[in-house]
């Protein structure tokens, strides 16, 4: 079994090799798969998004943001509180303007810090994941700590350009995904 560090390295290289047009096309396909998933769950109203770091060729979640805004959903994101080394939840205003922080993460220019209590769906960044819903992130642990504080029934959705690994050995603090959306399908765990 590959270690998390091996997977991190391999998937960073895989993503680095993607051309911007491919990232964009695959991101749009993921958005379409998500909208199909949402059709069966239209009652969901509160969605937490991460926004892509371009240099890491992450899934462009701005497509999902636009789709959810058109559906009148309430959107949230997070920013890192360095003093507390945790994620703080921000409510996004409609059509928010963004700037890039020092890590290249798009951050809303205007937002309101709120409790994450209303969140029903969280899109979780990842590098790799397996058939059981275990994931490999960037190794900082921010999302696992954040997910651990949410209600257990919150839908945790990974987004990936790739198929799952067979198996990833989770750490005790890791929080499993409920779903992962690829350009071709939605996997349920």
**Fold of the CATH domain 4-188:** Rossmann fold (3.40.50)
Distance in angstroms (rounded) separating the CA atoms of residues 139 and 144: 10
3-state secondary structure (DSSP) of residue 50? coil
Instruction: Say what the pTM is.
Output: 0.93
Distance in angstroms (rounded) separating the CA atoms of residues 67 and 31: 8
**What is the predicted pLDDT for the residue at 70?**
96
Of 99, 11, 101, which is closest to residue 57 (Cα–Cα)? Answer: 11
For the chain, the structural domain boundaries read 4-188
Share of the chain above pLDDT 90, in %: 75
**What is the predicted pLDDT for the residue at 80?**
79
**What is the predicted pLDDT for the residue at 79?**
85
pLDDT over threshold 80, residue 140: no
pLDDT tens column, 76-135:
999 877 665 778 899 999 888 999 888 888 989 888 899 999 999 999 999 999 999 999
Show the 3-state SS of 63-115: HHHHHHHHCCCEEEEEEEECCCCEEEEEECCCCCCEEECCCCCEEECCCEECC
Q: State the chain's maximal CA–CA distance in angstroms.
A: 44
**What is the predicted pLDDT for the residue at 83?**
64
43 against 96, higher pLDDT: 43
């Amino acid at each position: 079994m590959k270690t998390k560090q091996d997977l991190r390295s391999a998937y960073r290289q895989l993503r680095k090799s993607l051309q911007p047009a491919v990232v964009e096309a695959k991101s749009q396909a993921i958005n379409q798969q998500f909208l199909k998933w949402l059709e069966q769950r239209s009652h969901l109203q509160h969605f937490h998004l991460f926004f892509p770091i371009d240099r890491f060729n992450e899934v462009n979640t701005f497509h999902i943001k636009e789709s959810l805004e058109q559906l009148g959903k309430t959107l949230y994101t997070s920013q890192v509180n360095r003093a507390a080394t945790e994620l703080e939840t921000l409510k996004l205003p409609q059509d928010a303007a963004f700037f890039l922080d020092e890590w290249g993460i798009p951050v809303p220019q205007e937002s309101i810090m709120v409790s994450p209590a209303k969140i029903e769906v969280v899109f979780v960044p990842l590098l790799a994941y397996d058939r059981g819903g275990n994931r490999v992130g960037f190794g900082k642990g921010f999302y696992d700590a954040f997910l651990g504080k949410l209600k257990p029934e919150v839908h945790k959705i990974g987004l990936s350009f790739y198929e799952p690994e067979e198996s990833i050995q989770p750490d005790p603090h890791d929080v499993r995904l409920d779903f992962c959306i690829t350009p071709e399908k939605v996997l349920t765990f």
